Structure 1
Amino acid sequence: MQVNVFVRTDETQQYHLLVTPYGPTAAIPDQLKHLSWRNLAVTTLDDRLLSSVSPIIDAQNVVNGYALVSLKA
């Protein structure tokens, strides 16, 4: 499955990834648009960056249509 990956950091320097399904209608959800997201990549869920959290991303995508994942630097 191809996905769009957006990234932002917070005041604690923790990374937050927003993962949305890839496609022409994919967009940052309205409730998250006020945050400063940068487009990181278009990739697949078996990418090394995402592979450890891909089950979480799959589950959240089914429920929400997007996934939020936090990673420590």
Structure 2
Amino acid sequence: MEDKTTFKLISKKIYLKRIEKGYTQSYMAGLLNISQNVYSINERNVKEISLARFLKILEILELSFEDILL
């Protein structure tokens, strides 16, 4: 799978899980101590994010690497 396609799929899974849990971007941003705008950019995969932030997003959404990659 090509990188852009993989990142789009990961972003989509994160978005769908956030919606499923009823979390807003503002709520997620608060938990991550970032602005809603920065969270939106991260979720849409506009810019690269740190591994630490990515792992924290997975933790908040109760997702594993396996969930995200399958």
The normalised TM-score by structure 2 is: 0.31
Greater RCO (Cα-Cα under 8 Å, separation 6 or more):
1
Structure with greater helix share of residues: 2
Tell me which protein shows more strand as a share of its residues.
1
